[in-house]
Chain A
Amino acid sequence: MTALTTPGRPEQDASPRPVPWRRMAWVTWRQHRFALGGVAALLGALAVWLWLIGLQAHHAYAAAADCHPASSSACGLLVGSFISHLSAAQNVAIVLQVVPALIGAFVGAPVLAREVETGTFRYAWTLGFGRWRWTLAKLVPLGVAVAAAAGLFSLLFSWYYQPFFVQTFSGNVQVPLYSTVFDLRGVAFAAWTLAAFAIGALVGMLIRRVVPALAATLVVYAGLAVAAGAYLREHYLTPLLVKNVNPPSSALIISQQWYAKGGQPASQAVLGQVLQQGAPQLGGGKGGIPQQDVTVNQWLIQHGYTLWTSYQPESRFWPFQWIEGGWLLALSVLLIAASAWLVSRRAA
């Protein structure tokens, strides 16, 4: 114990040595251990569930893949069983999208908002540890902890989902870059969780009340996640272009467009007219353009039309993971720095 009982002692040093960082570790743990426990409980429960349904999915995959002859009705049943696991997994992936949002709202938002709402910031910020140091000593370890937990969880998810990527027999080829699974694997899930936490912390500091901050965090996070999935991700690298052939089925298709001889885009109406001329031969070729139908495509190509497809190949999974992880990490650092700056200059 540092017991100095002489208050009048000379201590004119204008810049005393700061209180060591490590002393905040106990404080952060003591004040946020229930929040961290909540994260552990949530992810732990989800992990047990994922592990159980993952074992079943792996068994179903092994049974269907090992079945010979593949055309037998017994094998058909096994494939059917596997497909039901696949459709369940697609729903699981959608549900898991909310996990980072929940962590951001329930762990991130209260960290600063509760201090301001209850007035305890007047105590914490006047003890001499330093306001921005106090903020960083809270946000950085908590952010790292929730990101690490999410990272471990996403490893389990990758294992769970792996059979659906490697299988080819279901006819439903999974696209690794597709938005509902891309951000649950690799480094993305940890990065999104960190970003959600950092959003929560800053929103909490801006709104200064726990419950509104919590709701606002959910909204901001959802907006960012949807925007990234729908608009941003497909532009991380310049898409590849192919002409008159379909890209691999595991690729993420960005756009497909028919062009006329002169190079101008062909409208649906024009293509419909061309197809109607060949209707007898095409058999069932209706007004629409069933592009998977090889005969329809061949007919249009024979008539001088060109199909351009832009896509992102499956091989870009890891580059995209690093790009997404990178910008989310940069964003999180920025948000945490902004929170610390706000704390250090906020007036009471």
Chain B
Amino acid sequence: MSINVIETNGLGKRYGGTWALRECSLAIPAGHVAALVGPNGAGKTTLLNLAVGLASPSAGGVTVLGGRAPGSPAALDGIAFVAQDAPLYKNLSVADMIHLTRNLSRRFDQEYAETRLGELGIPLKRKSGRLSGGQQAQLALTLALARRPRLLMLDEPVAMLDPVARHDFMAIVLTAAVDDGVSVVLSSHVLTELERVADYLILLSRGRVQMAGEVDDLLASHRVLTGPALEADRYAERPVVHVRRAEAQAHLLVRATAADPVPPGFQAHPVGLEELALAYLREPGAAALPGPARGRHAEPSEVAK
């Protein structure tokens, strides 16, 4: 059962002379809601396109759903992909979008789709181009889930949504993940919703994987140390990821567990996911690839500061 929904090995993609993604080695196990986080241009969309077969690698390899070739019928059969901005056929009605999706997929749960759209109050006769942004995103998600995928891939699904629509959207994703056991990989440059949703995090920066692992493991292996700013520079016992100074105080994000000793004059606090992600994004040179389940990484587990 424990397959990797996405597994990459030295994966790279070059557009012209620019590497959109390089030396990406990761394995996202099934059964997670995995968040692919990074600033714009970090390679999130590229990685998802490679995994769904819309792009082919310039280097390395990628497999999905336990070794299947991306884009192959066997792979696409188990994957539902909602691309950025949820591209729908704007001139087709909602009912026609359902019909089209049902016709082109091996499985389709018509009843689920119609029930969900009914709950959302999305009229079947309306042209999908005339739905609101939130409704379009919900339609795309409904069509994706009605295909009964094993892996749901969402590229920046909430970027265009207002906070309420974002919350509703994520609630559906979570329901699918928890109730139906759908593995989810979603990319986002919005960090706020992730804490509630994601239990696996991949941090991409400048085309490289900076951090990857289960959220619980990542949080357990990082602490924030607060102490006098003057002492901060001398602190070198544990690898420091990021230093945030506030007047006389300094907040050090360090790689340390709760069991590690706290230096004198400092107080240790657990770290939140958003804070952790932000710290790493501010330090593109830092990398944390603990990877509890596997030992195949481009770089050894370490923090470079």
Chain A residues with a Cβ under 8 A of chain B: 1-5, 7-8, 11, 13-19, 23-24, 26-27, 30-31, 118-120, 122-131, 134, 345, 347-348
Contact = CB atoms under 8 A, between A and B. Distances in A.
B118 interface: no
B54 A122 contact: yes
A1 B105 contact: no
A35 B90 CA distance: 16
A269 to B, nearest CB: 61
Contact of B73 (A15, A118, A123): A15
Nearest to A122: B83
B88 interface: yes
A119 B85 contact: yes
Contacts of B76: 126-128
Interface stretch (B107-115, B234-242, B294-302): B107-115
B83 A14 contact: no
A7 B99 contact: no
A8 B105 contact: no
16 contacts: A1-B102, A5-B109, A8-B180, A14-B68, A16-B77, A16-B106, A19-B105, A26-B103, A30-B96, A30-B100, A118-B90, A122-B54, A122-B83, A126-B81, A127-B105, A128-B76
B262 to A, nearest CB: 44
B182 interface: yes
A323 B79 CA distance: 48
B155 to A, nearest CB: 9
Given A16-B77, A126-B53, A119 B100 contact: no
Interface string B149-187: 110000000000000000000000000000011100000
Contact of B79 (A5, A18, A126): A126
A17 B77 CA distance: 10
B159 to A, nearest CB: 14
A134 B100 CA distance: 12
B90 to A, nearest CB: 7
Given A11-B78, A30-B99, A125-B54, A4 B87 contact: no
A7 B183 CA distance: 10
Contacts of B249: none
Main secondary structure, interface of A, reads loop
B248 interface: no
B74 A15 contact: yes
Q: A-B pairs with the 4 shortest C-beta distances?
A: A348-B54, A128-B76, A122-B83, A119-B87
B105 A128 contact: yes
Contacts of B81: 122, 126
Contacts of A31: 89, 92
A30 B85 CA distance: 23
A8 B73 contact: no
B253 interface: no
A17 to B, nearest CB: 8
A120 B53 CA distance: 15
A24 B104 contact: yes
A38 B109 CA distance: 35
A7 B78 CA distance: 9
B181 A128 contact: no
B104 A128 contact: yes
- Most chain B CB inside 10 Å of its own CB: which residue of A14, A124, A131, A345: A14
A118 B88 CA distance: 9
Contact of A4 (B85, B90, B101, B107): B107
A16 B74 contact: yes
Given A4-B107, A348-B54, A120 B148 contact: no
B115 to A, nearest CB: 11
A17 B90 CA distance: 30
Given A1-B109, A5-B109, A128-B73, A24 B181 contact: no
B87 to A, nearest CB: 4
B56 interface: yes
B12 to A, nearest CB: 13
A24 B54 contact: no
Contacts of B103: 19, 23-24, 26-27
B73 A130 contact: yes
B59 to A, nearest CB: 14
Given A120-B88, A347-B55, A7 B148 contact: yes
Interface string B132-154: 00000000000000011110000
B49 interface: yes
B79 A13 contact: no
Nearest to A2: B107
Given A7-B182, A30-B99, A347-B49, A23 B104 contact: yes
B52 interface: yes
Contacts of A128: 73, 76-77, 104-106
A66 B79 CA distance: 75
Contact of A18 (B73, B85, B88): B73
